[in-house]
Amino acid sequence: MTTDTLDRTAAPDLSSRFRKFIGAPDFPCVGAKSALANDMLRIFEARDLTSGWNDLQIHRELVEWGRAYKDDPTGFRSFSVIFAGPDDLDEAAFEEALWTRVQSLADKDAWKGLRHDARVSPDPDNPHFGLSFGGEAYFVVGLHPRASRPARRFERPALIFNLHDQFERLRAEGRYERMRERILARDAELAGSINPMIARHGEASAAAQYSGRRVGDDWQCPFRDPRNAA
């Protein structure tokens, strides 16, 4: 585990508490639970979601994480970045900060001359949209204290990077739909309602789902990948 927290006294054992959050019986994402159980949940502790302080380190860790997956693409895994703060962002402010960090990471990927994963689109309006770091496609799940959905409500801001390829492998094995249905059912049981923002990859862009905020059809993603020629 890599750590670089803003204030260790303010968040002692933050990674341990995050693992406890994922491991709670009512936490709905069975994929994250599998990653935790198999020691495939990697955690990087960063300073501030609204600052670029750790962006170079986060990008480097993501590229290394993707390379390790290519060498051994077995098991479900997630790369989690937990920020020491701020812990008072409302949903709109969190969404803005999330996309600022994602934009910075994509800019660094392009500046380093790393190719965009051709299996996903760099256009956030495309139903096959995906982020790409080190040539490997990802999507992001944002967590923060003031999230409206309980499953997204962790005590500090966090960005969870999941590999698109592992879900494509699940589809090829005929396991994806069953896992998706279990997650949706568990999330509805926890929240008391079905998440209105969930869509399948390829049916609608997942960009609107990243922050967890409920948005309408007129929502515009602020992200632009430098490698997108469109």
Each residue's pLDDT tens digit, 31-63: 999 999 999 999 999 999 999 999 999 999 999
Phi, psi torsion values for 117, nearest 5 degrees: -60, 115
Q: With bands split at pLDDT 50, 70 and 90, how would you rate the model's confidence at 7?
A: very low
d(CA 78, CA 166): 10
pLDDT at 176: 85
Instruction: Check: CB of residue 95 under 8 Å from CB of residue 142.
Output: yes
d(CA 75, CA 154): 25
Print burial letters for 161-190: b (CB count within 10 Å at least 16), e (below 16).
bbbbbbbeebeeeeebeebbeebeebbeee
Q: What's the length of the chain?
A: 230
Instruction: Record the pTM.
Output: 0.92
The pLDDT tens digits for 149-198 are 999 999 999 999 999 999 899 889 999 889 999 999 999 999 999 888 87
Instruction: Say if residue 199's pLDDT is above 70.
Output: no
Where exactly are the structural domains of the chain? 2-209
